[in-house]
Structure 1
Amino acid sequence: MAGTNRKPHAIMLPYPYQGHINPFVHLAIKLASRGFTITFVLTQSVHHQISRARNAAAAGHNADIFAKARHSGLDIRCTTVPDGFPLSFDRSLNHDQFVEGLIHVFSAHVDDLVGNLINSAAESESPPTCFIADTFYVWGSAIASKYNLVHVSFWTEPALVLTLYYHLDLLRRNGHFASPANRRDTIDYIPGVRAIEPADLMSYLQSPDIWTVVHRVIYRAFEDVKKADIIICNTIQELEPETISALHSQQPTFAIGPVFASGFAKSTVTVTTSLWSESDCTQWLQRKGKGSVLYVSFGSYAHTSKNDIVEIAHGLAASGASFIWVVRPDIVSSDETDFLPPGFEERVRDRGLVVPWCSQIAVISHPAIGGFLTHGGWNSILESIWCSVPLICFPLVTDQFTNRKLVVDDWEIGINLCDKGSITRQEVAEKIGCLMNGEKLDGLRERIRAVRQKLEGALSRDGSSERNFNDFVEKMEVRSRKKLGMITANGH
């Protein structure tokens, strides 16, 4: 029968931020390695940023991020779709307007793309049968349902964060969220969560204003995820066993992480997805002793205040530690780019390197790196664990406060940067000293190596993440065959 030997074909749609794109790209490679056809969808803006960054690094560089993957035999096609805004529109400066567009406008462009992909599938090709969309899209189930696709919701953060959002109704009912005076006592009624303090909830669940555009995304997205056929999480069973189990009892949920870059996952396929041109720090690091350098980065998305940047700069200078500090030009805002203290770089030039962006994996995997001062993004945490680099946590927004709880309280592989209400240069210098040379250092390193072993075990041939990935693939393949059978029976 025509079509019975067709491969499963997944459309993959990451949220248009660096921290979401990276795990999506590596999942695409992993699925393609298992025989899937992948249509990977980037917004035109993201594709433009990646292309510009690659061309800055090497003039004339191929802008197709999956060219090497296809050359190695993987069937990954990359396509673009408009997000509803012109390329010149500053999505960082106009964050709320941009997110409104993702809710109300972007879905129409995605709908049009999916429809065209299905209608234009040649008889000899595999039509799309799966839609793997970021959990934060509020309309994933509607598009999957319209085109009769298997809907996979890909959650790129820890399962703890997913389950807290998943059970917003319980937090509301018990007065810990959306209450005139939110309760401040311990939360001990969320399925799969032993206990959590309100101060460790995601920033949006601590905010008094609960009707921002991001809150509206959260409300809709975490109702929509309950309609997904399958949920996959970039975490591992051994780190969050009770949480994953509780989610799985609600609907099929698979911990398939860490979904890593090729250098970590022992793959021969490399994909460059940086939205900014990367500085090469290798030669500078080569001159430093083992474990002597602190890496400082607050990720690709979060913003902080000029005062915090100034206090961190003075703290770094006073600490005496060698460091690489990634200072995004828009770390404060797109409008304000002059925020480092006058003369700072000259003052620390013998032991400090300030760069606008770099390959984080290349830096933290270098033997000279001994610690990581981080905002606590989930990718950064997983990468630090893999490289056995202890952490100083300085959460800024969203899941980072909850991630900090996992790192500092549950796994004890890092410390807080700020124990008080506001950050000071004295505490910054003190915490850097504690991480790099203090009495706690040996214990932190020992515990992070133990957690790394869990990650390694999960990714081994018989590990939990490999088993879960196989189960997830099998479930998708079964459902895809059913879809293909229906398509063939209908003569399409």
Structure 2
Amino acid sequence: MADSAAVQLQQPHAIMISLHLQGHINPFIHLALSLASRGFTVTFAHLHFVHRQISAAGAGDPFAGARAAGFDIRYTTLSDGLPIDFDREAHHDQFLHSFRHRLPDIVAEFVGEIIQANPSSPEFFLVADTFSIWAAEVAGKLGLVNVSFWTEPAVVFSLYYHLDLLRRNGDVPVAGRWKNVDYLPGIPSINTKDFVSYLHDSELGPIHHLLFDSFQAVRSADFVLCNTPAELEPAAISGLNETVPFYAIGPMVRESESCEIARSFLPESDCTEWLNSQPAGGVLYVSFGSFVKIDREVIGAVAGGLLRSGVRFLWVLRPGMVDSGDGDGGGSGLPEGFEIRVRGKGKVVTWCNQNQVLGNPATGGFLTHCGWNSILESIWHGVPMICFPVFTDQITNRKLVVEDWKVGVNLSGVNGGSLKEEEVAEKIGGLMEGEMRKGLKEEVEKVGKVLQAAAAENGSAAGNFDRFAAELSEQLQRRRRRR
């Protein structure tokens, strides 16, 4: 009886298998820490090639500090079915085929081995990214509760989730046909120009089929967790909750105060000393994220705009972001002699800790691709934005920033327009000083307070997470009784 009681008192065991993209890994690690901080045991797995990238940039075991801080997080890796040296970026379709067709069996075997190796754990449940299409199949095969984690805003989830409805109404594919859509649950009105980029395309490739089919699979999930604050997307969340067990547990922005977690694919430059030498609010931070490719013409327009504006700036140009070529600064796309001309006022790095940069008092603005993590971090730190979305959810995210919350401004180039350095300079000038800046700064600080309240100890994120944890435990107990 004593042994049985001890087992009943143990918290459930989360098996978390991370997606391979940097922008998804960051909030996934936050989720692991949130589960562990509530007493859950966590087994966290990266794919082998992701582990190698992170190890090269930081630590071999990213959760060593978390365990030292008292978190029960076990770290491991698994194969995606391809050799570790396989060039997944150059052969993306082949990688997606393996991800879709080979990974389910690999994951099922992997999860089964974890369960067998931990006979004293009372209950296991699976946590995977919503785009991990194999999660529903694996959870069903092994009889596990299936927790889907959505790392983008609720309105983007709703667009994908209601794809069939959009198709029946003839509004997808968009294919350049702009119109207002007012029939989606929880979304009063949205123009088709603001749909995620994959809903614009008439020709569908492997990535489209994987993304769209993942939203058929997620309909069988037991829980959907979303990295968004309930206060900023109440209507979209309410609309989803009519049919989906949807929990807004964001923003997952604040760094862990008890431990550091290695999560970056690239070595980070420490920009603190340089930023500390700059005037308060005087630096424009420029970054297009961890994944998107940027046209050489765009880089040239941004560089020219920075020169024209005369603004102090910190610019992240990661390796491989721009196609390399002769005389282009080693593949960076920068005009010849650019770094010499901006010496003393501008700094170009290959990667950095973005949260630290945005939180530095010197950072006064952010020219961004509108990735969801970047938006949340910028608002959290009260930094207004210039928006240049490229693809996927960034298109819809831009709408939230500029039109709904009014904490940023547009650059041209959205929906296929060209970008000119004169406009870049003009928008930089408005963002960094004058009446436009004053209005944007007031709004972003107001919205930032909403984010910080949501993330507080007694905020909506914690409340929704506690509600999820309680309902998860009840569901696990029901399953145990049925056995």
The interval holding the TM-score normalised by the smaller chain is: over 0.9
Whether 2:285 is the aligned partner of 1:291: answer no
Work out whether 1:97 is the aligned partner of 2:94. Answer: yes
The Cα offsets for residues 233-282 of structure 1, whole Å up to 9 and x where unpaired, read as: 0001110001101111102110000122425xxx3122121010001111
Partner amino acid, structure 1, of 2:148:
S
**Cα offset for 1:73?**
1.3
TM-score normalised by structure 1 residue count: 0.93
Structure 1 contact 294–372 (Cα < 8 Å) conserved: yes
Could you say if the C-alpha distance between residues 440 and 376 of structure 1 is closer, same or farther in structure 2, counting changes exceeding 3 Å? same
Greater CA drift, 282-291 or 419-428: 419-428
| Structure 2 CA distance for aligned equivalents of residues 73 and 481 of structure 1 | 26
Q: Which amino acid counterpart does residue 126 of structure 2 have in structure 1?
A: F
> Match for 1:32: what amino acid?
A
Percent of aligned pairs with the same residue?
A: 48
What residue in structure 1 maps to residue 229 of structure 2? 236
- In the alignment, structure 1 residue 439 sits paired with structure 2 residue 439: no
Aligned residue among 272, 275, 279 for 1:282: 272
The answer to whether the Cα contact below 8 Å between 1:129 and 1:483 also exists between their aligned partners in 2 is: no
Residue 294 of structure 1 aligns to a residue whose secondary structure is strand
Uncovered stretches (5+) of structure 2, i.e. residues with no partner = none
The alignment's C-alpha RMSD in Å is 1.7
5+ residue gaps, structure 1: 55-61
Distance apart, 1:82 and its partner CA: 0.8
Matched AA of 1:53: A
**Corresponding residue number in structure 2 for 1:260:** 253
Match for 2:20: what amino acid? P
- How far residue 110 of structure 1 moved from its aligned partner, in angstroms, is 1.2
For the residue of structure 2 that corresponds to 1:39, the secondary structure is strand
CA contact (8 A) 2:103 2:134 kept: no
Say which structure, 1 or 2, has more relative contact order (CA 8 Å, 6+ apart).
Answer: 1
Q: 1:174 deviation in Å?
A: 0.9
| Aligned twin of 2:395 | 401
Work out whether residues 257 and 465 of structure 1, in 8 Å CA contact, stay in contact via their aligned partners in 2: yes
SS at 1:439's partner residue? Answer: helix
Aligned to 2:138: 143
Match of 1:73 among 70, 74, 77: 70
2:48 aligned residue: 44
Distance change (3 Å), C-alpha of 1:329 and 1:419: closer
Paired positions, count: 473
Q: Which of 318, 328, 331 is equivalent to 2:318?
A: 328
Map 1:70-469 to 2 at 5 A: 70-122=67-119, 125-126=120-121, 129-178=124-173, 183-209=177-203, 211-262=204-255, 267-333=257-323, 337-418=331-412, 421-469=417-465
C-alpha distance after superposition, 1:416-438 (max 9, x if no partner)? 12167101111111111111113
Which segment drifts farther, 460-469 or 355-364?
Answer: 460-469
Q: Which amino acid aligns with 1:214?
A: I
8 A contact 1:129–1:484 mirrored in 2:
no
Is 2:16 aligned against 1:12? yes
How far does residue 31 in structure 1 lie from its aligned partner after superposition?
0.7
CA distance in 2, matches of 1:462, 1:289: 35
Answer yes or no: is the 8 Å Cα contact 1:176–1:182 preserved in 2: no
Code of the aligned partner of 2:449: Q
| Residues 317, 332 of structure 2: 8 Å contact kept | no
Separation in structure 2 between the aligned mates of residue 289 and residue 218 of structure 1, nearest angstrom: 44
* Match in the other structure for 2:39: 35
Shift of residue 460, structure 1, vs aligned partner: 2.4
Distance 1:353 1:326 in 2: 9
**TM-superposition CA deviations, 1:372-418 (whole Å, max 9, x none):** 00000000000001100000000011000000000000000000121
SS in 1 for 2:266: coil
TM-score, normalised with respect to structure 2: 0.94
Q: Equivalents in 2 of 1:416, 1:163: separation in Å? A: 24
Is this contact kept in 2: 1:118–1:127, CA < 8 A?
no
CA-to-partner distance for each residue in 1:171-209, whole Å, 9 max, x for gaps?
101111137x67422111110101111110111111232
Moved more, 344-353 or 398-407: 344-353
DSSP-derived class of the 1:295 partner: strand
CA distance in 1, matches of 2:301, 2:411: 12
* Contact 1:374-1:394 within 8 A present in 2 as well: yes
Displacement after TM superposition at 1:69 (Å)? 0.9
The 4+ residue runs of structure 1 with deviation greater than 6 A are none
Q: What SS class does the counterpart of residue 285 from structure 2 fall into?
A: strand
Structure 2 contact 388–413 (Cα < 8 Å) conserved: no
Larger deviation: 233-242 or 475-484? 475-484
Q: Measure the CA separation in 2 of the matches of 1:187 and 1:48.
A: 44
Matched AA of 1:441: R
Q: CA deviation at 1:366?
A: 0.3
Partner amino acid for 1:473? A
Q: Is the 8 A contact 2:296 2:323 kept in 1?
A: no
Contact 1:14/1:41 (8 A) holds in 2: yes
Partner Cα separation in structure 2 for residue 311 and residue 334 of structure 1: 17
